[in-house]
Structure 1
Amino acid sequence: MSSAPVSAEPAAARLVASAPWDAEADDALLCVAVRDETHDVKTFVLAPREPRLFAYAPGQFLTFSFEIGSETIHRCYTVSSAPTRPHTVSFTVKRVPGGPVSNWLHDTLKVGDTVRALGPMGEFSCFNHPAGKYLLLSGGSGITPMMSMARTFHDLGGGRDVAFVHSARSPADIVFRGELDTMARLDPAFRVHAVCETDSPAEAWAGFKGRLSLDILSEAVPDFREREVFVCGPKPYMDAVRAMLAGAGFDMARHHEESFDFGALPQAEQEAASEAAEQLDAEAGAAPAMRTFRVEFAKTRRVLECPEDSTVLDAARKAGIRLPSSCAKGLCGTCKSKITTGTVTMAHAGGIRQREIDAGMALLCCSKPTSDLVIER
């Protein structure tokens, strides 16, 4: 039996990959395609420098390190591609006015460029909540994890009952519109509906109009109460959907959400931690004196005092110093910073590599000082 012919086509070389991609071994990814999804949304397709296979659950994210100017900026983006097509991985980004990363990606990142990534990470996935019927609800850029889930179910077949309802500003802002329509045409068990707030200059919207409401949801997906529901989008959208489902008698144990507004998370965690600490103090009596350490940010020359029981990120926020952060759980890597002087204790959740820790890097959201610090920011 003769072996398959060797092809000179570079794309064919990627198909011989047999080993999984491992960010710990090589975190560099090549941009192999840039695709315009809408007037202000692009998809960036990445591949390892050597043929490797990506393995992840639909809905997970990667944390990227972008070299913008003289600064390294970390951002987490949900994977929009499906693990059923493992030779490349994609993320999709909407241009945000004034956004340093989204504008840099849209204007600068091109085929042949290299970015660095860590992951995949995250628990928001349909794979973690198997069900007979699913409802995917997304608003704006929140469509990306839903698209990964929808693509995965479509590729795997089996007639999975999936209803997808996406909210957009106008018809021109419906991301992946053509692909979603094609998937619905090919698979009767997959139904897609768009809800648009207004018309676009080139199209008067004939579908559901306004914002997602219980009436619209009931008409589009009458059996929504029987489904496992996944929700992603801006915080106001998430809050409205959560309240709508709860008010409709939906079993909220089957409601799963992923928010891009990670900034809302630390406050709730701080309040919970504060309440727990107060309870412990009441039970144990007077606490020993708390040590406080000096924290200096070398580039901005800002200085603050950080108690030993506080993370550097929390102390910075209380001092009015804004630092890049997202998950505040030691997961995404957005707040990764170099500690040039001093030591910390760090309880992270996978958002930093051991070699980075050995090089003096730390995640400020989960790092508490054990000495005075100088941080390269």
Structure 2
Amino acid sequence: MTMPTSQCPWRMQVHHIHQETPDVWTLSLLCHDYYPYRAGQYALVSVRNSAETLRAYTLSSTPGVSEYITLTVRRIDEGTGSQWLTREVKRGDYLWLSDAMGEFTCDDKAEDKFLLLAAGCGVTPIMAMRRWLAKYRPQADVQVIYNVRSPEDVIFAEEWRNYPVTLVAEHNATHGFVAGRLTRELLQSVPDLASRTVMTCGPAPYMEKVEQDVAALGVTPLL
């Protein structure tokens, strides 16, 4: 029996694991207690029940919508946490999580127009918030632009069929994808850009470019 650590007191059991892309998996967890969190937040995970080895992962599920608490993890070659979660952890195992943390959320935004921008695994909090807006703000006008390396790298591919989304593929773009990367011109094509709450998540270079491009168009993004 594994035991809680001071920073990770929440015990959750792995119900099932789903492979999203060639290098990304979603772990669906059962928590037998009420686990309070907000769409877009993250939690620390105790790697191998260690008090010293902790890794932060977005809670890719959505409170009040998702059946399970989920972690969506990209396997990194030298990643201690991601290697363990995607290679060793199996159905029925227990994980220990911290309280949910972070202020990158949409439930405190009064506006009803959003532009959600994501690249790679940065889509995890974006999808959590997209579900939340669909459930609790069905009147909201939500535009999503999601950048991936190639079409096979789209995380939550089936679920995106439920929501309007512009998919941008850097390589091998096929039908339904914009070829290349996010550009200022693509941002300018978003209706009512200046009146939208712009929220973005992705690798650092992507975030820096988005911040520059959006600012040049007169909007300050929430990072």
Q: What TM-score does the superposition give when structure 1 sets the normalisation length?
A: 0.54
Task: Give the whole-Å Cα distance in 2 for the aligned partners of 1:235 and 1:101.
Answer: 20
CA contact (8 A) 2:116 2:198 kept: yes
Task: Give the whole-Å Cα distance in 1 for the aligned partners of 2:137 and 2:205.
Answer: 34
Match among 61, 66, 74 for residue 47 of structure 2: 66
Structure 1 stretches lacking a partner, 5+ long: 1-22, 185-190, 258-377
Task: Give the whole-Å Cα distance in 2 for the aligned partners of 1:115 and 1:81.
Answer: 16
Q: Secondary structure at the match of 1:106?
A: helix
| 1:231 matched to 2:210 | no
Task: Give the whole-Å Cα distance in 2 for the aligned partners of 1:138 and 1:24.
Answer: 29
Shift of 1:147: 0.7
Map of 2:115 onto structure 1: 135
CA contact (8 A) 1:199 1:205 kept: no
Shift of 1:98: 2.2
CA distance 1:216–1:25, change in 2 (3 Å): closer
Map of 1:247 onto structure 2: 216
Structure with the larger RCO, 1 or 2 (CA within 8 Å, 6+ apart): 2
Map of 2:34 onto structure 1: 53
Counterparts of residues 13-24 of structure 1 (less than 5 Å) = none
Percent of aligned positions with the same letter in both sequences? 33
Map of 2:146 onto structure 1: 166
Shift of 1:241: 0.1
Shift of 1:156: 3.1
Q: Secondary structure at the match of 2:47?
A: strand
AA partner of residue 233 (structure 1) = G
| 1:196 matched to 2:169 | yes
| 1:38 matched to 2:11 | no
Offset from partner CA, 1:127-183 (integer Å, 9 cap, x none): 1322111111011110010010011122336332111111100000011121011x2
- In the alignment of these two chains, the number of paired residues is 218
Structure 2 stretches lacking a partner, 5+ long: 1-5
Query: Between Structure 1 and Structure 2, whose CA radius of gyration is higher?
Result: 1
Task: Give the whole-Å Cα distance in 2 for the aligned partners of 1:176 and 1:165.
Answer: 14
AA partner of residue 47 (structure 2) = F
Q: Secondary structure at the match of 1:244?
A: helix
Q: Secondary structure at the match of 2:110?
A: coil
Map of 1:340 onto structure 2: none
Map of 1:277 onto structure 2: none
Q: Secondary structure at the match of 2:188?
A: helix
CA distance 1:199–1:87, change in 2 (3 Å): closer
Task: Give the whole-Å Cα distance in 2 for the aligned partners of 1:91 and 1:154.
Answer: 20
Q: What TM-score does the superposition give when structure 2 sets the normalisation length?
A: 0.90
Match among 201, 207, 213 for residue 183 of structure 2: 213
**Greater than 3 Å deviation, 4+ residue runs:** 23-26
Shift of 1:218: 2.3
| 1:119 matched to 2:119 | no
Q: Secondary structure at the match of 1:167?
A: strand
Shift of 1:75: 0.5
| 1:94 matched to 2:83 | no
